Amino acid sequence: MDYSISLYQSTELKELCEFLNRCWEFDSITPQLLDEKLHGDPAWQEDLALMVRNENRIIGFMQGVIRDIRGIRYGYIKLLGIDPTFRRKGIATYLYNELEKKFVHQSVDAVRIYDVPLNYWMPGIDPRYTPALCWAMRLGFKRFGDTSNLKVNLSANWDTLDEETKLATDGIVIRGAFPEDKQDVLDFIQDEWVLWGNEVEMAFKDDPPSMHIALIDNTIKAFSAHNGNNKGTGWFGPMGTHQELRGKGIGAILLKRCLNDMKFMGLSYAVIPWVGPIDFYAWHANAQVDRVFWRFEKKLHLNES
Ligand SMILES: CC(C)(COP(=O)(O)OP(=O)(O)OC[C@H]1O[C@@H](n2cnc3c(N)ncnc32)[C@H](O)[C@@H]1OP(=O)(O)O)[C@@H](O)C(=O)NCCC(=O)NCCS
Protein backbone atom coordinates (compact mmCIF):
# COMPACT_ATOMS: atom_id res chain seq x y z
CA MET A 1 0.00 0.00 0.00
CA ASP A 2 1.13 3.49 -0.76
CA TYR A 3 0.91 5.79 2.27
CA SER A 4 2.21 9.30 2.71
CA ILE A 5 2.69 11.00 6.05
CA SER A 6 2.37 14.76 6.38
CA LEU A 7 1.64 17.45 8.93
CA TYR A 8 -1.89 18.85 9.05
CA GLN A 9 -2.36 22.21 7.28
CA SER A 10 -5.22 24.57 8.13
CA THR A 11 -6.45 24.39 4.50
CA GLU A 12 -7.32 20.74 5.22
CA LEU A 13 -9.76 21.56 8.04
CA LYS A 14 -12.98 20.67 6.21
CA GLU A 15 -11.59 17.48 4.72
CA LEU A 16 -10.19 16.41 8.10
CA CYS A 17 -13.53 17.13 9.74
CA GLU A 18 -15.40 14.95 7.25
CA PHE A 19 -12.80 12.25 7.73
CA LEU A 20 -13.10 12.21 11.53
CA ASN A 21 -16.88 12.10 11.32
CA ARG A 22 -16.55 9.00 9.11
CA CYS A 23 -14.24 7.39 11.69
CA TRP A 24 -16.14 8.18 14.86
CA GLU A 25 -19.25 6.14 15.53
CA PHE A 26 -20.32 7.96 18.70
CA ASP A 27 -19.24 11.57 18.05
CA SER A 28 -19.61 14.22 15.45
CA ILE A 29 -17.57 17.37 15.21
CA THR A 30 -17.99 20.60 13.22
CA PRO A 31 -15.16 22.45 11.46
CA GLN A 32 -15.43 25.24 14.08
CA LEU A 33 -15.05 22.79 16.96
CA LEU A 34 -12.23 20.96 15.24
CA ASP A 35 -10.40 24.23 14.72
CA GLU A 36 -10.90 24.99 18.43
CA LYS A 37 -9.17 21.65 19.26
CA LEU A 38 -6.34 22.29 16.78
CA HIS A 39 -5.22 25.91 16.41
CA GLY A 40 -7.43 26.96 19.32
CA ASP A 41 -5.32 24.97 21.77
CA PRO A 42 -3.07 27.36 23.71
CA ALA A 43 -0.22 24.82 23.31
CA TRP A 44 -0.95 23.96 19.64
CA GLN A 45 2.09 22.38 17.98
CA GLU A 46 1.83 21.85 14.25
CA ASP A 47 4.62 19.23 14.31
CA LEU A 48 2.39 16.99 16.48
CA ALA A 49 -0.63 16.86 14.11
CA LEU A 50 0.10 13.85 11.91
CA MET A 51 -1.89 12.83 8.89
CA VAL A 52 -1.72 9.75 6.67
CA ARG A 53 -3.00 9.76 3.09
CA ASN A 54 -3.55 7.00 0.60
CA GLU A 55 -4.03 8.01 -3.04
CA ASN A 56 -4.52 11.56 -1.83
CA ARG A 57 -7.33 10.65 0.61
CA ILE A 58 -6.95 11.11 4.35
CA ILE A 59 -6.93 7.67 5.98
CA GLY A 60 -5.43 8.46 9.38
CA PHE A 61 -4.99 11.33 11.81
CA MET A 62 -3.44 11.73 15.24
CA GLN A 63 -3.01 15.01 17.10
CA GLY A 64 -0.64 15.33 20.01
CA VAL A 65 -0.31 18.12 22.52
CA ILE A 66 1.90 18.71 25.57
CA ARG A 67 1.04 20.20 28.96
CA ASP A 68 3.13 20.75 32.09
CA ILE A 69 0.94 19.91 35.07
CA ARG A 70 2.11 20.04 38.69
CA GLY A 71 5.69 19.21 37.80
CA ILE A 72 4.87 16.46 35.30
CA ARG A 73 5.23 16.88 31.56
CA TYR A 74 2.33 15.10 29.89
CA GLY A 75 1.98 14.28 26.22
CA TYR A 76 -1.57 13.64 25.03
CA ILE A 77 -3.15 11.94 22.09
CA LYS A 78 -5.83 14.57 21.67
CA LEU A 79 -7.67 13.35 18.57
CA LEU A 80 -7.40 10.06 16.72
CA GLY A 81 -9.06 8.27 13.83
CA ILE A 82 -8.21 5.67 11.21
CA ASP A 83 -10.40 5.09 8.15
CA PRO A 84 -12.56 1.99 8.81
CA THR A 85 -11.31 0.29 5.66
CA PHE A 86 -7.67 0.76 6.68
CA ARG A 87 -7.81 -0.60 10.22
CA ARG A 88 -5.66 -3.42 11.65
CA LYS A 89 -2.85 -2.49 9.27
CA GLY A 90 -0.66 -0.88 11.91
CA ILE A 91 -1.40 2.72 10.88
CA ALA A 92 -2.45 4.01 14.31
CA THR A 93 0.54 2.24 15.83
CA TYR A 94 2.85 3.84 13.29
CA LEU A 95 1.40 7.30 14.00
CA TYR A 96 1.68 6.75 17.73
CA ASN A 97 5.31 5.65 17.49
CA GLU A 98 6.10 8.78 15.49
CA LEU A 99 4.32 10.92 18.07
CA GLU A 100 6.01 9.17 20.97
CA LYS A 101 9.44 9.86 19.44
CA LYS A 102 8.52 13.54 19.32
CA PHE A 103 7.27 13.39 22.91
CA VAL A 104 10.53 11.76 24.04
CA HIS A 105 12.47 14.44 22.21
CA GLN A 106 10.44 17.05 24.10
CA SER A 107 11.07 15.40 27.50
CA VAL A 108 7.52 14.14 28.08
CA ASP A 109 7.18 11.96 31.21
CA ALA A 110 3.87 10.23 30.51
CA VAL A 111 1.31 9.98 27.71
CA ARG A 112 -2.46 10.09 28.19
CA ILE A 113 -5.33 9.67 25.76
CA TYR A 114 -7.92 12.39 25.11
CA ASP A 115 -8.20 13.76 28.69
CA VAL A 116 -6.32 16.99 27.95
CA PRO A 117 -7.08 19.63 30.58
CA LEU A 118 -8.39 23.02 29.47
CA ASN A 119 -9.04 22.32 25.80
CA TYR A 120 -10.24 18.83 24.96
CA TRP A 121 -12.80 16.97 22.93
CA MET A 122 -13.79 14.16 25.33
CA PRO A 123 -12.19 13.39 28.72
CA GLY A 124 -10.97 9.86 27.89
CA ILE A 125 -11.87 6.92 25.65
CA ASP A 126 -15.57 6.09 25.51
CA PRO A 127 -15.31 2.30 26.04
CA ARG A 128 -17.81 1.71 23.27
CA TYR A 129 -14.85 2.48 21.00
CA THR A 130 -13.65 -1.00 21.92
CA PRO A 131 -10.93 -1.21 19.22
CA ALA A 132 -9.40 1.94 20.74
CA LEU A 133 -9.23 0.29 24.19
CA CYS A 134 -7.61 -2.82 22.73
CA TRP A 135 -5.20 -0.72 20.75
CA ALA A 136 -4.19 1.39 23.74
CA MET A 137 -3.60 -1.65 25.96
CA ARG A 138 -1.59 -3.32 23.20
CA LEU A 139 0.65 -0.25 23.10
CA GLY A 140 1.35 -0.47 26.81
CA PHE A 141 -1.18 2.05 28.16
CA LYS A 142 -2.67 1.28 31.57
CA ARG A 143 -6.18 2.26 32.60
CA PHE A 144 -5.92 4.44 35.70
CA GLY A 145 -9.41 5.83 36.18
CA ASP A 146 -12.84 6.63 34.83
CA THR A 147 -14.84 9.78 34.47
CA SER A 148 -18.22 10.72 33.07
CA ASN A 149 -20.14 13.38 31.23
CA LEU A 150 -23.55 14.15 32.68
CA LYS A 151 -26.52 15.41 30.73
CA VAL A 152 -29.08 17.97 31.94
CA ASN A 153 -32.48 18.49 30.37
CA LEU A 154 -32.72 22.27 30.18
CA SER A 155 -36.52 22.48 30.01
CA ALA A 156 -36.78 22.86 33.83
CA ASN A 157 -37.21 26.18 35.63
CA TRP A 158 -33.79 27.47 36.77
CA ASP A 159 -35.00 30.55 38.62
CA THR A 160 -32.83 31.39 41.64
CA LEU A 161 -34.28 34.72 42.78
CA ASP A 162 -35.43 33.52 46.24
CA GLU A 163 -32.08 31.88 47.07
CA GLU A 164 -30.19 34.96 45.86
CA THR A 165 -32.36 37.26 48.00
CA LYS A 166 -31.52 35.17 51.08
CA LEU A 167 -27.77 35.28 50.36
CA ALA A 168 -27.96 39.06 49.83
CA THR A 169 -28.86 39.44 53.53
CA ASP A 170 -25.39 37.97 54.29
CA GLY A 171 -23.76 40.45 51.91
CA ILE A 172 -23.28 37.89 49.12
CA VAL A 173 -24.04 39.36 45.72
CA ILE A 174 -24.62 37.08 42.75
CA ARG A 175 -24.61 38.45 39.21
CA GLY A 176 -23.63 37.78 35.61
CA ALA A 177 -20.01 38.76 34.93
CA PHE A 178 -19.15 41.86 32.90
CA PRO A 179 -16.20 41.88 30.47
CA GLU A 180 -14.24 44.01 32.96
CA ASP A 181 -14.51 41.22 35.60
CA LYS A 182 -12.19 38.96 33.58
CA GLN A 183 -8.93 39.75 35.35
CA ASP A 184 -10.56 39.37 38.77
CA VAL A 185 -11.84 35.90 37.86
CA LEU A 186 -8.40 34.94 36.51
CA ASP A 187 -6.82 36.18 39.75
CA PHE A 188 -9.40 34.28 41.81
CA ILE A 189 -8.51 30.92 40.20
CA GLN A 190 -4.73 31.38 40.55
CA ASP A 191 -4.30 29.54 43.84
CA GLU A 192 -6.53 26.51 43.44
CA TRP A 193 -7.54 26.22 39.80
CA VAL A 194 -4.86 27.75 37.62
CA LEU A 195 -5.46 25.13 34.90
CA TRP A 196 -8.90 26.60 34.22
CA GLY A 197 -7.54 29.89 32.87
CA ASN A 198 -8.11 29.00 29.24
CA GLU A 199 -11.75 28.05 29.79
CA VAL A 200 -12.31 31.29 31.70
CA GLU A 201 -10.74 33.24 28.82
CA MET A 202 -12.96 31.38 26.34
CA ALA A 203 -16.11 32.11 28.37
CA PHE A 204 -15.20 35.82 28.40
CA LYS A 205 -15.03 35.84 24.60
CA ASP A 206 -18.84 35.72 24.59
CA ASP A 207 -20.95 38.86 24.83
CA PRO A 208 -22.22 38.90 27.52
CA PRO A 209 -19.58 36.62 29.07
CA SER A 210 -20.73 33.02 29.69
CA MET A 211 -19.87 33.51 33.34
CA HIS A 212 -21.60 34.18 36.66
CA ILE A 213 -19.92 35.32 39.85
CA ALA A 214 -20.54 35.68 43.59
CA LEU A 215 -18.98 38.62 45.43
CA ILE A 216 -18.57 39.84 48.99
CA ASP A 217 -17.47 43.47 49.36
CA ASN A 218 -16.85 43.53 45.61
CA THR A 219 -14.38 40.63 45.86
CA ILE A 220 -15.03 37.48 43.83
CA LYS A 221 -15.64 34.43 46.00
CA ALA A 222 -17.14 32.00 43.49
CA PHE A 223 -17.75 31.64 39.78
CA SER A 224 -19.32 29.35 37.22
CA ALA A 225 -18.80 29.31 33.47
CA HIS A 226 -20.13 27.65 30.36
CA ASN A 227 -19.13 27.69 26.70
CA GLY A 228 -15.46 27.62 27.75
CA ASN A 229 -14.67 24.43 25.80
CA ASN A 230 -16.42 22.75 22.84
CA LYS A 231 -18.20 26.03 22.21
CA GLY A 232 -21.84 25.90 21.19
CA THR A 233 -22.43 22.36 22.50
CA GLY A 234 -23.88 23.29 25.91
CA TRP A 235 -20.62 22.55 27.73
CA PHE A 236 -20.81 23.58 31.38
CA GLY A 237 -17.88 24.55 33.60
CA PRO A 238 -15.58 25.17 35.17
CA MET A 239 -16.97 26.36 38.48
CA GLY A 240 -15.48 26.94 41.91
CA THR A 241 -16.42 28.39 45.29
CA HIS A 242 -13.86 29.70 47.81
CA GLN A 243 -13.31 27.10 50.54
CA GLU A 244 -14.65 29.36 53.31
CA LEU A 245 -17.98 29.83 51.53
CA ARG A 246 -18.80 26.27 50.56
CA GLY A 247 -22.06 24.78 51.80
CA LYS A 248 -24.09 27.98 51.52
CA GLY A 249 -25.80 27.12 48.23
CA ILE A 250 -23.72 29.53 46.14
CA GLY A 251 -22.51 26.84 43.73
CA ALA A 252 -26.05 25.62 43.09
CA ILE A 253 -27.20 29.13 42.20
CA LEU A 254 -24.24 29.73 39.90
CA LEU A 255 -24.82 26.39 38.21
CA LYS A 256 -28.49 27.17 37.59
CA ARG A 257 -27.65 30.59 36.19
CA CYS A 258 -25.42 28.97 33.58
CA LEU A 259 -28.07 26.35 32.75
CA ASN A 260 -30.59 29.14 32.33
CA ASP A 261 -28.25 30.94 29.90
CA MET A 262 -27.89 27.78 27.84
CA LYS A 263 -31.64 27.26 27.82
CA PHE A 264 -32.10 30.78 26.45
CA MET A 265 -29.38 30.15 23.86
CA GLY A 266 -31.90 27.63 22.46
CA LEU A 267 -30.20 24.44 23.67
CA SER A 268 -32.29 21.49 24.89
CA TYR A 269 -29.52 19.80 26.88
CA ALA A 270 -26.37 20.81 28.69
CA VAL A 271 -23.32 18.63 29.19
CA ILE A 272 -21.57 18.62 32.56
CA PRO A 273 -18.27 17.11 31.55
CA TRP A 274 -15.44 15.27 33.30
CA VAL A 275 -17.33 14.90 36.59
CA GLY A 276 -16.48 15.08 39.51
CA PRO A 277 -19.22 15.40 42.14
CA ILE A 278 -22.06 13.51 40.44
CA ASP A 279 -24.34 13.87 43.49
CA PHE A 280 -24.11 17.67 43.48
CA TYR A 281 -25.26 17.89 39.87
CA ALA A 282 -27.82 15.11 40.22
CA TRP A 283 -29.41 16.84 43.19
CA HIS A 284 -29.43 20.41 41.90
CA ALA A 285 -30.01 19.88 38.19
CA ASN A 286 -31.38 16.35 37.91
CA ALA A 287 -28.25 15.55 35.89
CA GLN A 288 -27.86 12.00 34.63
CA VAL A 289 -24.76 10.07 33.66
CA ASP A 290 -24.74 10.15 29.88
CA ARG A 291 -21.30 8.98 28.77
CA VAL A 292 -18.52 7.16 30.57
CA PHE A 293 -14.83 7.49 29.71
CA TRP A 294 -11.82 5.36 30.60
CA ARG A 295 -8.55 7.13 31.20
CA PHE A 296 -5.24 5.64 30.09
CA GLU A 297 -1.63 6.46 30.76
CA LYS A 298 1.72 5.20 29.53
CA LYS A 299 4.80 6.25 31.47
CA LEU A 300 7.82 7.02 29.33
CA HIS A 301 10.25 6.85 32.29
CA LEU A 302 12.42 9.47 30.73
CA ASN A 303 13.98 10.58 33.93
CA GLU A 304 15.35 7.15 34.81
CA SER A 305 18.82 6.21 33.67
C1 LIG B 1 -8.57 2.58 17.52
C2 LIG B 1 -8.03 2.78 16.10
C3 LIG B 1 -7.40 4.15 16.01
C4 LIG B 1 -6.97 1.68 15.84
O5 LIG B 1 -6.37 1.95 14.56
P6 LIG B 1 -5.66 0.83 13.69
O7 LIG B 1 -4.81 1.50 12.68
O8 LIG B 1 -6.67 -0.14 13.23
O9 LIG B 1 -4.73 0.13 14.79
P10 LIG B 1 -3.46 -0.81 14.53
O11 LIG B 1 -3.58 -1.50 13.20
O12 LIG B 1 -2.22 -0.01 14.75
O13 LIG B 1 -3.65 -1.87 15.70
C14 LIG B 1 -2.56 -2.33 16.48
C15 LIG B 1 -3.07 -3.33 17.51
O16 LIG B 1 -4.11 -2.78 18.31
C17 LIG B 1 -5.07 -3.82 18.63
N18 LIG B 1 -6.35 -3.57 17.95
C19 LIG B 1 -6.64 -2.60 17.06
N20 LIG B 1 -7.93 -2.71 16.67
C21 LIG B 1 -8.45 -3.76 17.33
C22 LIG B 1 -9.72 -4.38 17.34
N23 LIG B 1 -10.73 -3.94 16.54
N24 LIG B 1 -9.93 -5.44 18.15
C25 LIG B 1 -8.91 -5.91 18.91
N26 LIG B 1 -7.67 -5.37 18.92
C27 LIG B 1 -7.45 -4.31 18.15
C28 LIG B 1 -4.49 -5.10 18.06
O29 LIG B 1 -3.64 -5.66 19.06
C30 LIG B 1 -3.66 -4.57 16.91
O31 LIG B 1 -2.61 -5.44 16.53
P32 LIG B 1 -2.91 -6.70 15.53
O33 LIG B 1 -3.74 -6.17 14.38
O34 LIG B 1 -1.54 -7.13 15.13
O35 LIG B 1 -3.64 -7.72 16.33
C36 LIG B 1 -9.15 2.63 15.05
O37 LIG B 1 -9.89 1.46 15.33
C38 LIG B 1 -10.12 3.78 15.00
O39 LIG B 1 -9.88 4.77 14.29
N40 LIG B 1 -11.25 3.67 15.72
C41 LIG B 1 -12.28 4.70 15.71
C42 LIG B 1 -11.80 6.00 16.28
C43 LIG B 1 -11.47 5.91 17.72
O44 LIG B 1 -11.81 4.97 18.41
N45 LIG B 1 -10.81 6.94 18.20
C46 LIG B 1 -10.50 7.05 19.58
C47 LIG B 1 -11.71 7.48 20.30
S48 LIG B 1 -11.34 7.77 21.95
Asked if the structure places residue 279 within a domain, the reply is: no
Supply the pLDDT for residue 2.
Answer: 85
Same domain? 260 vs 126:
no
Report CA(59)–ligand 1 centroid distance (Å). Answer: 13
Mutation probe of ligand 1 site: the residue of 88, 137, 146, 291 with most atoms within 8 A of C-beta: 88
Asked if the structure places residue 170 within a domain, the reply is: yes
Same domain? 135 vs 187:
no
Same domain? 92 vs 194:
no
Domain count, the chain: 2
Domain extent for 248: 156-267
What is the CATH classification number for the domain harbouring 43? 3.40.630.30
> How many Å is the Cα radius of gyration of the chain?
21
Same domain? 77 vs 168:
no
Asked if the structure places residue 274 within a domain, the reply is: no
Give the residue from 61, 55, 81, 76 showing the smallest Cα distance to 9.
61
* 10-residue averages of pLDDT along the chain (305 residues): 92 98 98 98 97 97 97 97 98 98 97 97 98 98 98 98 96 98 97 93 98 97 98 97 93 98 98 95 97 98 54
Q: Measured between alpha carbons, how far is residue 96 from residues 69, 101, 102, 256, 293 in Å?
A: 22, 9, 10, 41, 20
Same domain? 231 vs 252:
yes
Same domain? 128 vs 178:
no
Asked if the structure places residue 138 within a domain, the reply is: yes
Mutation probe of ligand 1 site: the residue of 23, 29, 62, 87 with most atoms within 8 A of C-beta: 87
Specify the residue with its C-alpha closest to ligand 1, atom 35.
88
Supply the pLDDT for residue 305.
Answer: 44
